[in-house]
Amino acid sequence: MLFCTALVPLAHILATGFFIGYLPASGTVATLLLGIPAVLLWHRYVPVLLRGFIGLALMTLVALIITHGALPCFEGIADPSAIVIDEVIGLLWTFWGRKVDRTNLLIGVVAFRFFDITKWGLVGASELLPGAIGIVVDDVVAGLFANLTIWGLRPWK
């Protein structure tokens, strides 16, 4: 359903990353085309105090609301692959408190995609939560695991 007829088409457009979610390998494509620019903009233009836990929690809440609004467009699909706003939020959590340089960016993106694709440990368990919560929270957990991966490989950066 490329063009959803739900009452909230804006949620559908935002949740699918302006329809990037309909491309093949949508999660990886969205991470590269939307997530990386979002991380770079977030770390460059958002004040340090807003980049912390509270800022990310608020952004996650916005993603939950948008995802919930878009779900009627995907009748009966528990975790539609076209919804990619969760990849953006997950990648933001990947760099929570971390320096964004080329090496960390490479480690973070690869680790985030690894945890998101394999659904390793708590990532898979959190995906079982109902509705928008499961869709978004599994990417937040994947982002936190990727964050720990960066920390483990480069604790000084």
pLDDT, one tens digit per residue, over 82-125 is: 999 999 999 999 999 999 999 999 999 999 999 999 998 999 99
Element spanning 48, H or E: none
More confident residue, 79 or 64: 64
Domain ranges for the chain: 9-153
C-beta pairs of 119-128 under 8 Å, 24+ apart in sequence: 120/145, 121/145, 127/79
**pLDDT at position 6 over 90:** no
pLDDT of 4: 58
Q: Which residue has the tokens 């969760």?
A: 86
Residues in the chain: 157
39 pLDDT above the threshold of 70: yes
- Of the candidates 20, 152, 5, 6, the one whose C-alpha atom is nearest the C-alpha of residue 86 is 20
